[in-house]
Amino acid sequence: MGLRAKISAVAARLSFADGILLIPLAALLAASTRVRGNSCGHDFSFHLISWMEAQRSWAQGVLYPHWAQSPNWGTGEARFLFYPPLSWMLGALLGYIVHWDWIPMALIFMCLTASGLATRALARQFLPAPNATLAGILATAAPYALFCAYERAAFAELAAASLIPLLLLFSLSPPKVASLGSALFPVPSSLVLAAIWLTNAPAGVMASYLLAFATLAAALLHRAWWPILRAAFAVPLALGLAAIYLVPAAYEQRWIAIQQAVDVGMRVSDSWLFARHAATDLEYHDQVLRLASALLVMTALFALIGFTVAFLRRKLSPATRGYWLPLTLLIPVIVFLQFPFSAPIWNLLPKLQFLQFPWRWLMVLNTPFALFLAAATPLASRRARIVSAIVWTSLLLGSTATASLVFFQYCDQEDDPINQAAIFRAGTGVEGTDEYAPLGGDNSLVASNLPDACLVSDPAQELGESETGDAPVWYPEQGSCDDTFQAQLWQNQHKLLPIETDQVGYLILRLRRYPAWKITVNTHPVVAPVQREDGLIVLPVPAGASTVEVQWTTTPDVWWGRAVSLASLLLLTALWLRERRLKAIRLS
């Protein structure tokens, strides 16, 4: 084959019709704001510290950590019990490959690429290959995706959003063979739903209701029971796979201030479309709400325009309405959920309030937005493809440039990943998460710069002072500690402190209380007699030499979660092997 023929062959493989490689290129373009540095959005520091904490726990031999030590100025919180594991594990793994400064861009690129490929896979069910590829490209630069990436730095939500098109694909797809076994094959749907739950909890709630919506729509459109029966198997199996996280998180919510997750400003009723509040402490909340509201209106409007144009041009075949009709119905349903008259639904449906912001449904709206705009684009002829490529490339460049201007959040010096890594190594700690505080423990009362252990005569002794209203700071000259001690071992989930005192007293540890801690003094179990308002552990200690040991224990709910996940994984494997055997028999 000559050189010209080889070039033509390569060009054909990279054509617009089959150009899957265009999707990661578009994702790279969307992630290109990295040239300006990292965007320190709302959740940036939370994720960065989580990745570092996970790596430290792994170095200490804890593969699935539950406790993070840095929050609350080094006194810790049970962050990893309540935050799904896949995103922080992925960030920690990337930390072994690339510098901390580059992990956000790597995550954004991976998530946007996955979203584009998943959207293309769904689009291929009812659109020609060129339009399906364009849908994948548009998904990488959807307004809410860029909003999550830069304004919010919501990496877990961005990762979960990339799986939404696959959930729709597997829940809407009819069985390829008209047999009960194939019709009820739940493995793909259950795997995707479990992965979403293990990535982001609000996304898991949305995905569960989305699966119910898609199942009902498919059952009505096909006039068949297989969608309902398949979902009836898939949902329990998915929740069982995610039980390793879900069971402890659900059970142990009674041990933390979880209601602060839906406190003022975080309630659904505070974030109706373009809502405004007189309270000055909600001013920043309203700024973000206005931006999110504008994105939702724009996304819904363009999705409807795309659908209308595609429908009128007969680009949406009646034979494939089982795919595009449910996607169309999603648009008014999601818009309806943005207004106060939808409040009864938010209040009645379980866990829906924990979405916090109605505009989070943009995660789902991104899919019809990309699909219908791509469906409306003429790509039948070469000329149409060239014109469309020029137009969409210009629009994508403009979208990325706009995102870099509107959504990009400049980092303060202390928020920069390099400085965050230095703070992490220094062990001075960072602010905590309000909803993970122990019951009766106030994060704002935790003093920074505390010693590993502080001996006092009064267990309610205040530690630290605050003259400006900020978090209190402890320093030796305050005299609040009769004596201080340094730990012999201070790992995330194991502490060992040898102490020696001249008097009976109380030892306040630089550690928040939590029922999973097993505490011993000279090998004798100890129950803390006082619950301090700052949530720190306080222990009675005798005069003389003592050894205080604190170890994280595996509570029964954690064992139950592991057992359910293992059983579900075995069942999933059995179903997958059975389906493979059935396919082999049908092919023979």
Cα dihedral: 562, 567, 573, 578 (round 10): -170
Cβ–Cβ < 8 Å for 512, 76:
yes
pLDDT average per 10 residues of sequence, the chain (588 residues): 53 54 91 77 94 97 96 96 96 95 93 96 94 95 94 95 97 71 75 97 97 95 91 94 97 93 88 92 92 96 97 93 96 97 95 94 97 94 87 88 87 85 91 93 93 94 82 90 95 96 93 96 85 93 94 97 97 87 68
Residue 11 placed within a domain: no
Nearest to 173 by CA among 233, 232, 221, 117: 221
User: Residue 384 has what pLDDT?
Assistant: 86
Cβ–Cβ < 8 Å for 510, 75:
yes
Full 3-state SS string of 365-416: HHHHHHHHHHHHCCCCCHHHHHHHHHHHHHHHHHHHHHHHHHCCCCCCHHHC
126: CB partners within 8 A, 6+ apart: 316, 317, 320, 323, 324
369: CB partners within 8 A, 6+ apart: 138, 142, 299, 300, 302, 303, 306
Q: What's the N-to-C CA distance of the chain in angstroms?
A: 38
The encoded tokens of residue 35 equal 């040239």
460: CB partners within 8 A, 6+ apart: 530, 532, 533
Q: 491 lies in which domain range?
A: 448-553
User: Residue 11 has what pLDDT?
Assistant: 47
Element of type H or E holding 304 = helix 283-312
Q: Please give the angle made by the CA atoms of 229, 230 and 233, to the nearest 5 degrees.
A: 90
Distances (CA, A) of 453 to 16, 18, 216, 560: 64, 63, 58, 34
Contacts for 581-584: CB closer than 8 Å, 24+ residues apart: 582/179, 582/181, 582/182
The encoded tokens of residue 323 equal 């795919």
Q: Give per-residue burial for 53-70: e unless 16+ CB within 10 Å, then b.
A: bbbbbbeeebeebbbbbb
Verify that 124 and 265 share a domain, yes or no.
Answer: yes
Q: Please give the angle made by the CA atoms of 546, 547 and 550, to the nearest 5 degrees.
A: 140
pLDDT tens digits, 310-355:
999 999 999 999 999 999 999 999 999 999 999 999 999 999 999 9
Verify that 250 and 300 share a domain, yes or no.
Answer: yes
Verify that 408 and 456 share a domain, yes or no.
Answer: no
Residue 192 placed within a domain: yes
Three-state DSSP at 257 gives coil
Domain termination site, one of 397, 413, 429: 413
Residue 432 placed within a domain: no
User: Residue 401 has what pLDDT?
Assistant: 86
User: Residue 378 has what pLDDT?
Assistant: 92
Residue 8 placed within a domain: no
Verify that 405 and 496 share a domain, yes or no.
Answer: no
Q: State the DSSP code for 147.
A: I
Residue 517 placed within a domain: yes
Verify that 155 and 282 share a domain, yes or no.
Answer: yes
Cβ–Cβ < 8 Å for 519, 548:
yes
Cβ–Cβ < 8 Å for 184, 75:
no
Three-state DSSP at 496 gives strand
Residue 146 CA to residue 127 CA, distance in Å, equals 25
How many domains, in total, are found in the chain?
Answer: 2
Verify that 404 and 467 share a domain, yes or no.
Answer: no
Residue 579 placed within a domain: no
Residue 86 placed within a domain: yes
User: Residue 182 has what pLDDT?
Assistant: 52
Element of type H or E holding 568 = helix 556-587
Verify that 388 and 482 share a domain, yes or no.
Answer: no
Verify that 197 and 106 share a domain, yes or no.
Answer: yes
User: Residue 490 has what pLDDT?
Assistant: 96
pLDDT tens digits, 410-443:
888 778 888 999 999 999 999 999 999 999 899 9
| Size of the chain, expressed as the number of residues it contains | 588
Residue 70 CA to residue 56 CA, distance in Å, equals 11
User: Residue 471 has what pLDDT?
Assistant: 82
Residue 247 CA to residue 270 CA, distance in Å, equals 29
Cβ–Cβ < 8 Å for 167, 192:
yes
494-501 and 505-512 strand pairing: unpaired
Nearest to 164 by CA among 375, 361, 400: 361
Residue 572 placed within a domain: no
Verify that 484 and 398 share a domain, yes or no.
Answer: no
Residue 159 CA to residue 166 CA, distance in Å, equals 13
Verify that 507 and 407 share a domain, yes or no.
Answer: no
Domain termination site, one of 413, 440, 471: 413
Verify that 292 and 398 share a domain, yes or no.
Answer: yes
Element of type H or E holding 229 = helix 226-241
Verify that 546 and 409 share a domain, yes or no.
Answer: no
